[in-house]
Amino acid sequence: MARGQAQAADTTRKTTMGIGNQQFGQAGALEGSLVPAYTSLMDTGYFNPQEETAAGEDIMGSTAAPFATAKFTAGNRAAATHNASDLTGEEEQLALDQGTAEASAANKLQEQKMQNQEAGAYGLEQLFGENLKAGESMYGLQPGLLQARAAGGGWAQGFKDVLGTFRGGGGGFGGGEGA
């Protein structure tokens, strides 16, 4: 290779390495914030405890509010008419309806939490896949190939198998039983 070509190759390599280092730095910073967020999402269904508390208070509060208003209205109506005869029955029915509505809201909140947990696991899986691809492209060896190589016995095992055949273990050239 000519001297000019070698210098050009070195310059290109340095530029490429610089860009690669910058990209890996940015990816590392982004991953540093995503992994804890996805882990929290996977573990709790929320990015942080405050978000979980806010979601619960919002959904359960908005479910209970109409019943509080209805109870207040029923009490005012009974006071205005000086007739509280049906107030107890109305309050009991409102309490039953409120319990049913709050149970439904709690179920929806739990479903949402479970979906968020799945999303967190999916996000972590995607990060893992991207890291795996980046590693494969950097080193030029696919982990699948390395795993296949590690799973096999290697050349020494193959040599041992062939040697066993010659010594009679496989009915080959040795003619006798085992060596």
Q: Mean pLDDT over residues 11-21, rounded? A: 79
What's the average model confidence in pLDDT over 110-130? 90
138 vs 73, residue with greater confidence? 73
Q: Give the domain ranges of the chain.
A: 3-140, 148-179
How far is Cα 155 from Cα 161, in angstroms, rounded to an integer? 10
Residue 136: pLDDT over 60: yes
The model's confidence at residue 95, banded by pLDDT at 50, 70 and 90, is: very high
Rounded Cα gap, residues 126 and 129, in angstroms:
5
The pTM of the full predicted model, rounded to 2 decimals, is 0.54
Nearest CA to 38 out of 128, 122, 156, 115 is that of 122
Asked whether the predicted pLDDT for residue 77 surpasses 60, the reply is: yes
Residue 61 near residue 71 (C-beta atoms within 8 A): no
- Residue 170, pLDDT above cutoff 80: no
More confident residue, 16 or 50: 50
Find, among 159, 178, 160, the residue nearest to 168 by Cα: 178
